[in-house]
Amino acid sequence: MTSLPIRIPSEYDLLVEKNDTVKAGQVLARKKHAPSEIIIEIAKRLKVSPKSVGKMLKKNPGDHVEIGDVLAKKDGLFGDVIVVSNISGMFATFDRSDGNLIIRLLEDKEGQHEVDEILCPLDGIVTLCHNEQIILETEKNVLLGENGTGQTYRGILKLSDAKSKDAISAEKITIETIGCVFLGPAFTKEAYAKASAIGVGGIITLSLDDGDIEYLSEKRLTLPVIQVSEEVGKSISRWKNKEVFMDGQNKTILLLSYEKSTR
């Protein structure tokens, strides 16, 4: 069995209990009353002073914001550091005193904010259940790596466009990989450093030697990196643009699905 943590924000009501058997696509929690405005702490996330944020903003008050839009960008030594919106709405205001940006959520045709649901990504058993987290134990869609390091991450799988088994350089780590799990044949040490700096969620590779792991440890880079065989890599690549969960320490990868699993 493999453990999958599922974060449940405090404004959501749980619809399952400990020891429940759940199915992929089942509603685990539901948000009854969505807030009308969301505060995004730009200064804190970019690690800059509030007075510096204004020149880094990529949106203006009154602009429409979509999921994935870049809200702010800071130039960094290993590449740009960006803040990406995870909601849709309108850029309402920006507070220069604290560096916070406020996005006003859009309303539906009936004037009510959309009710959000957290769906179960795999068949399994709920082994822990409280207001902030569900732990799901599952045997579905589990793939094992050969080597690994780092923490856990859940995100969309993105494939490299590499045509050979040569290591991917830092130049190939771009803003398109931010927040994603990036699959490639091999990566240079500089690529690992840049991936960590700009916010790549995790890396799956066909090559990870002791030198790479030592480098990641020395630099205290916590992003999960898992080495898989070519056969497992081919299975994972078929999950392009879908969600995966990585556990670097346990060298496990879960292919998440909101439809009934057939694996």
pLDDT at 53: 92
What's the whole-model pTM score?
Answer: 0.65
Q: Which amino acid, 88?
A: S
> For residue 167, what is the enclosing H or E element?
none
Q: What is the mean pLDDT of residues 32-36?
A: 65
Q: What's the topology of domain 2-32+115-137?
A: OB fold (Dihydrolipoamide Acetyltransferase, E2P) (2.40.50)
Distance CA 177, CA 79 (A): 12
82-94 tens-digit pLDDT: 898 888 889 999 9
pLDDT at 160: 92
pLDDT at 114: 47
Sequence-ordered list of residues with C-beta below 8 angstroms from that of 99, at least 6 positions apart, any chain: 41, 42, 43, 44, 48, 49, 50, 51, 52, 53
213 has a pLDDT exceeding 90: yes
Q: What is the mean pLDDT of residues 99-118?
A: 69
CATH 2.40.50.100 residue ranges in the chain?
Answer: 2-32+115-137
Mean pLDDT of the chain: 88
133-187 tens-digit pLDDT: 899 999 989 999 999 999 999 999 999 988 788 899 999 999 989 999 999 999 9
pLDDT at 216: 94
pLDDT at 112: 44
CATH (residue range 37-105):
2.40.50
108 has a pLDDT exceeding 60: no
Which of 94-108, 133-147, 221-235 bottoms out in mean pLDDT, i.e. has the lowest? 94-108
Are the beta carbons of 125 and 27 closer than 8 angstroms?
no
CATH 3.50.30.10 residue ranges in the chain?
Answer: 141-255
Distance CA 235, CA 258 (A): 18
For residue 215, give both structure tokens. Answer: 């480098």
Class of domain 141-255: alpha beta
- CA atoms in the 13 A half-sphere facing the CB of 4: 29
For residue 197, give both structure tokens. Answer: 């700096």
